[in-house]
Structure 1
């Protein structure tokens, strides 16, 4: 599971088997308190979540939006 970055104890990562061309670019966020999946196209939005409260999920969404280019670059480098 390649880690792209960490933010306030939340790990943002991909699963190694997700490079399927049919699945759009996305990132997972996980920590002891919850997990979420964010789609990046056509705009950043929550695909699924469990355990994060609304405020935290909103904060994580802003983080993903702000680091979208970095995530896309890491996806393309990893999955080529």
Structure 2
């Protein structure tokens, strides 16, 4: 589970064993967790699920993802290359 960002206590990472899922990130801070799908063509994100998070937490995570969108996509592509 490589961590690609660690910002304000939020760990942004990928899971190595999620077969052929499209680009997404997992985020965790203490007992708060979520997963977001990224659409690199449309520069959009969509929440897949969240656990123990309020609306403020979700806004913070969305902001982190958008601020680092290109970096996340770049890291995803490198990560996918290494898997094969």
Same-fold status (TM-score > 0.5): yes
Count of aligned residue pairs for this structure pair: 78
Unaligned regions of 5+ residues in structure 1, if any? Answer: none
What is the aligned partner in structure 1 of residue 50 from structure 2?
49
What is the aligned partner in structure 1 of residue 11 from structure 2?
11
CA distance in 2, matches of 1:72, 1:19: 17
Unaligned regions of 5+ residues in structure 2, if any? Answer: none
Structure 1 runs, 4 residues or longer, greater than 2 Å off: none
For residue 35 of structure 1, report the CA deviation from its aligned partner: 0.3
SS of alignment partner, residue 53 of structure 2: coil
CA contact (8 A) 1:39 1:45 kept: yes
Alignment of 1:28-67 (within 5 A): 28-41=26-39, 42=42, 43-67=44-68
SS of alignment partner, residue 22 of structure 2: coil
- What is the root-mean-square deviation in Å for CA atoms of aligned residues? 1.2
TM-score normalised by L of structure 1: 0.89
